[in-house]
Amino acid sequence: MTAQSYQFIKADDPNFSYVGRISFADPQAPTFTYPGVQIHTVFDGTSARMVTKLNSGYFMVELDNQEPYKIHSSEEDSVVVIAEGLKDREHRLTLTYINEGMFLRPVFYGLMLDKGKGLVRRPELPQRKIEFIGNSITCGYGIEGDGTEKKFLYETENQYYTYAALTARELQAQCLVVARSGIGIYRNCNGRRRGDAKNMQALYPYTLFGTEGELWDFKRYTPDLVCVNLGTNDSTLPGYEVTLLTSAYKRFLKTLRQKYPKATIVLLTGPIVKRKRLTDIRQAQQEAIRDAKARGDHKIYTFEFTPDDGSLGYGTHRHPSLERNKVMAEELTAYLRKLMNWN
């Protein structure tokens, strides 16, 4: 593609609409680290290419009414083909970042369109808003794996197919994700019994993954509903303390209520915790909810997924498979639709 054959549309064009924890410290180089970040627009012309930092990772493309498909920003080229040979008309586009990007630190610079073409408008987004806070299950860790992989691979992680993303789409809601594999509410996977410093409570105030840098402006996205899927990693070996887990839930609920005074909060459990771990998480959540009710907060609930028995296969490291995530989404969607009266 020559310089004369395309039109470069910078990332700060007002016809882009962004959803997610994104840093706009440089408006022409939006940077993000959490999965599920979305970029929406409507463009005209016959082709589109995405311009990113090298090796930004994988994105899902929703283009008009086509089946969604995956594209990859590799180490070899910062210009990624989205589509070619389209009809010369308007096209609705959504790009969803589907990896955990704390090491990749993806950057979106804009789109390359046909010469003389441009963005037509910012598309309208759903009015409903959900925030999902979670761990590897919410990230889609290994969701496209076949259960035999021995290590994490970016190509088998896909947040787009998680229970969280499926639920949001079914409920016609925007979806903001704050999730990291291995994270806990007080103690990370196989971490210190007394807790780890970089837990979700510590990470949550920041725009990008980490415990320093740019603070997130919570006014940029005010959810109607917050779903918290934590506790699985807190309860891993070599051991944990239920009292510390309970205290962590109490603190985090206070944080969420301070940020979102009117939101409904749902504490999720599962689907891979069982027996004593499940009992302890239930106990911690219920004590935290009782503590909140004593402060006059009556909009916090719990929801448990059906335990994963492996009948639908596993992803990498026995994480829920894509088929299991579909079942999880069906369960959660039905519950939330009734809870929120979202018909």
Residue 26: CATH number of its domain = 2.60.120.260
Report long-range pairs for 286-289 (Cβ below 8 Å, ≥24 apart): 287/246, 287/249, 287/250, 288/246, 288/249, 288/250, 288/253, 289/253
- Mean pLDDT of all residues belonging to the chain: 97
pLDDT of 270: 86
- Give the model's confidence band at 4: pLDDT under 50 very low, under 70 low, under 90 confident, else very high: low
Report long-range pairs for 315-318 (Cβ below 8 Å, ≥24 apart): 315/141, 315/142, 315/143, 315/144, 315/145, 315/146, 315/147, 315/156, 316/141, 316/142, 316/145, 316/147, 316/149, 316/151, 316/152, 316/153, 316/156, 317/141, 317/142, 317/149, 317/152, 318/147, 318/272
Asked whether residue 145 falls in the same domain as residue 189, the answer is: yes
**Boundaries of domain holding 259:** 128-340
Residue 211: is its pLDDT beyond 90? Answer: yes
Q: Which of 68, 92, 121 is the last residue of a domain?
A: 121
Asked whether residue 189 falls in the same domain as residue 285, the answer is: yes
Asked whether residue 153 falls in the same domain as residue 95, the answer is: no
CB of 184 closer than 8 Å to CB of 234: yes
Asked whether residue 163 falls in the same domain as residue 208, the answer is: yes
Q: Which of 97, 121, 145 is the last residue of a domain?
A: 121
Asked whether residue 155 falls in the same domain as residue 204, the answer is: yes
- What is the SS3 assignment for 300? strand
* DSSP 8-state assignment for residue 277: H
pTM to 2 decimals? 0.97
Asked whether residue 255 falls in the same domain as residue 156, the answer is: yes
Asked whether residue 23 falls in the same domain as residue 142, the answer is: no
**Looking at the 3D structure of the chain, how many domains does it have?**
2
Query: Mind listing the pLDDT tens digit for each residue in 265-321?
Result: 999 998 999 999 999 999 999 999 999 999 999 999 999 999 999 999 999 999 999
Q: Can you state the angle between helices 242-259 and 275-294, rounded to 10 degrees?
A: 40
Share of the chain above pLDDT 70, in %: 99
Asked whether residue 74 falls in the same domain as residue 175, the answer is: no
Distance between CA 301 and CA 294 in Å, rounded? Answer: 14
Return the closest-CA partner of residue 243 out of 277, 196, 287, 289.
287
Asked whether residue 35 falls in the same domain as residue 134, the answer is: no
Q: For 17-30, what is the mean pLDDT?
A: 98
Kindly state the tokens that stand for 211.
Answer: 């415990």
Asked whether residue 14 falls in the same domain as residue 109, the answer is: yes
pLDDT of 69: 98
Asked whether residue 81 falls in the same domain as residue 160, the answer is: no
